[in-house]
Amino acid sequence: VPTSHRIVLARRPLVGVSPDLFRMETVEFPPLDLMQVRLRTLYTSLAPFQRQRLSETRSYVKPFAIGEVVAADNICEVIESRHPDFVGGEVVAGRLGWQTHPVADGRQLTKIDQALAPPSAWLSALGSPGLTAYFALLEFGQPKPDDIVVVTSAAGAVGGFAGQLAALAGARAVGIAGGPRKCDHAVRNCGYAAALDYRATNFKEQLASETNGRVAVFLDLVGGEIADAVFEQLGLRAKVILCGRTAAVNSATPERDFANLRYVWVQEADIHSFSAYAHVHRFPEARTRLAAWLKAGRLRTNEEYVHGLANIPQAFCNFINGQFAGRVIIELE
């Protein structure tokens, strides 16, 4: 009997994350209903929204139920179809989760155009991180040549594209990341002119000397004390894009986010609360532009790989603890 392997939430975290929050299950292939498609996962992925959904805190995404398959963006091959638009062998993208053989409604799937970019790039540059950086930075930040653009979690999946897109716009991108290895990666591979380690004792002094109170665009992916430090360096009518709250999401005290809103007000900054989901109708247009930069060698995908479903729980904990740089993709055999 053919079976699918999957990872479900076993219990909710109290403070930190550990692999035993998850459980591996094996289930028989269910029969396919009309308009359904059976898939084989080629790649799945790790993302901060998974951490949010482990907890019951109110957010824009609903918490996972205990026993629910952990949602994730996947790239899959169609192996059986009862949907007229899909045939075996096609490669599709969808939020299908940590499982080897998902069953999906055709409406949940996006066909992948491999002429634009290889399948894995549909999880990185042409997937959620690339599209988020594209719309948040180019649509709302609109950096101009020589503008100072500051991005937090600069060596992460979204931050890795934001720096490159800011550099393509001719701006001076300043990244903030945890530790020298990530700062080095941000400068070397992610388009940042400079990268600052927020754990350094003189971080605030470094930020002041690098930006001089002239930050024109601030793409904030983490919030908390790091965002507070950037607020002190905003220029007049700066654009602040609230895109992620990793520090609060990963904290036992999520209510303690930033305190320095005074500087936002003093500098008449615009705050935009960003959601990539609001731009779904424009994803094709963004993918065309991102793919053109990829093909021209002007954009790097910065993918990090983990192999095998069974290694996901530990990899997820390492991810939350900041051990990866770039988009983390799990390749299933």
Ligand X SMILES: NC(=O)c1ccc[n+]([C@@H]2O[C@H](COP(=O)([O-])OP(=O)(O)OC[C@H]3O[C@@H](n4cnc5c(N)ncnc54)[C@H](OP(=O)(O)O)[C@@H]3O)[C@@H](O)[C@H]2O)c1
Phi/psi at 213 (5° precision): 70, 25
Q: Closer CB to ligand X, residue 50 or residue 81?
A: 50
Least distance in Å: CB of 87 to ligand X? 31
Least distance in Å: CB of 286 to ligand X? 13
Binding site for ligand X (CB under 6 A): 47-49, 128-129, 132, 153, 155-159, 177-178, 182, 221-222, 226, 243-247, 250, 274-276, 322, 324
CA 207/CA 196 separation, integer angstroms: 7
Q: Closer CB to ligand X, residue 143 or residue 326?
A: 326
Question: Exposed, middle or buried by CB within 10 Å (0-12, 13-18, 19+), for 6?
Answer: buried
Least distance in Å: CB of 328 to ligand X? 7
Which ranges constitute the DSSP H helices of 58-114?
none
Q: Closer CB to ligand X, residue 276 or residue 332?
A: 276
Least distance in Å: CB of 193 to ligand X? 17
Q: Closer CB to ligand X, residue 39 or residue 243?
A: 243
Least distance in Å: CB of 132 to ligand X? 4
Residue with tokens 């809103």: 261
Residue type, 98: W
Q: Closer CB to ligand X, residue 224 or residue 235?
A: 224
Element holding 91 (H helix, E strand) = strand 91-95
Least distance in Å: CB of 131 to ligand X? 8
Q: Closer CB to ligand X, residue 81 or residue 152?
A: 152
Which ranges constitute the DSSP H helices of 26-156?
48-54, 128-133
Element holding 165 (H helix, E strand) = helix 157-168
* Nearest position to ligand X, beta carbon: 156
The pairing of strands 103-105 and 36-45 is antiparallel
Output DSSP code: residue 11: S
Least distance in Å: CB of 83 to ligand X? 28
Q: Closer CB to ligand X, residue 94 or residue 235?
A: 94
CA 58/CA 94 separation, integer angstroms: 24
DSSP string across 170-222: T-EEEEEESSHHHHHHHHHHS--SEEEETTSTTHHHHHHHHHTT-EEEEEESS
